[in-house]
Amino acid sequence: MSRLANRIAALGHGFASWITGLGAFARLFSAILARSSVVLRRPGLVSQQVHFIGNHSLLIIGVSGLFVGFVLGLQGYYTLNRYGSEEALGLLVALSLTRELGPVVTALLFAGRAGTSLTAEIGLMKAGEQIAAMEVMAVDPLRRVLAPRFWGGVIAMPILAAVFSMVGILGGWFVGVILIGIDPGAFWSQMQGGVDVIDDVLNGVIKSLVFGIVVTLIALYQGWTARPTPEGVSRATTRTVVSGALAVLGLDFLLTALMFAH
């Protein structure tokens, strides 16, 4: 009986610590925002992070986008062909990429490629007592380390998502027009007729911006709160991917319901 009671108590404790984590997460967010003036004072720090987070992720984003576009082209053609409307392939590829796949898949890859390295870097800085050393030297690590990384991720993510969508559309075009032989005029004109700049493209950019903020912040938070041991850093890195992916998928549902349900 007392074991059951302990279980229930542990359940409550787990929930309470989750809420506490959420509060600490929000506090870290506001602390980083409050120290963001460093972005304007030392833009070199941010550009270094954009280079590290963005440029180095470009290859995996581009290749993934290309193959997602290929697959969309093939699968879309297979389905549309049944209804004799292959010309709508361009529309299907462009809408799926700009609305959903571009921001979401990029954010998932971003969490795996850039988020993990941010978490590991900050966690190891903590384990190696570099953060403590900074504090001793009266350098604010939130300002010097976390804020530039946060803004680097927020700037890089929408760019990566836009590149993903563009490369994906070109991949769909390659499969549809070059390999299968759909009329290129119909392919592009159906796409232009159905993709709205505000409703689809801009909302996709807003989505990717939100995902960039959330994923980067989760990565920084996990690194910042990691236990300063090798095991603690490895667990934090895993948690970055898991909670980053879950946050992206959950938020995507919310944002889609807000933006496209009318």
Element (H, E) at 107: helix 102-110
192 contacts other proteins (rule: CB under 8 A): yes
Identify which range of 14-22, 24-32, 199-207, 246-254 contacts other proteins by CB under 8 A. Answer: 199-207
User: Which residue in 188, 213, 228, 232 binds other proteins (CB under 8 A)?
Assistant: 188
156 contacts other proteins (rule: CB under 8 A): yes
User: Which residue in 7, 13, 27, 51 binds other proteins (CB under 8 A)?
Assistant: 51
Residues in Cβ contact with 25 at an 8 Å cutoff, skipping those fewer than 6 apart: 217, 218, 221
Element (H, E) at 112: none
CB 181 within 8 A of CB 119: no
Q: Position 60: which residue type? A: I
How far, in whole angstroms, is CA 87 from its chain's centroid?
32
Structure tokens at 200: 């689809």
Distance (Å) of CA 261 to CA 59, 153, 253:
34, 29, 11
Identify which range of 46-54, 116-124, 139-147, 248-256 contacts other proteins by CB under 8 A. Answer: 46-54
> Using only C-alpha atoms, what is the Rg of the chain?
22
Within 94-153, the residues that bind other proteins by CB under 8 A are 94, 98
User: Which residue in 120, 125, 159, 248 binds other proteins (CB under 8 A)?
Assistant: 159
184 contacts other proteins (rule: CB under 8 A): no
Positions in the binding site for other proteins (CB under 8 A)? 44, 47-48, 50-51, 54-55, 58, 85, 94, 98, 155-156, 158-160, 162-163, 165-166, 169, 188, 191-193, 195-197, 200-201, 204-205
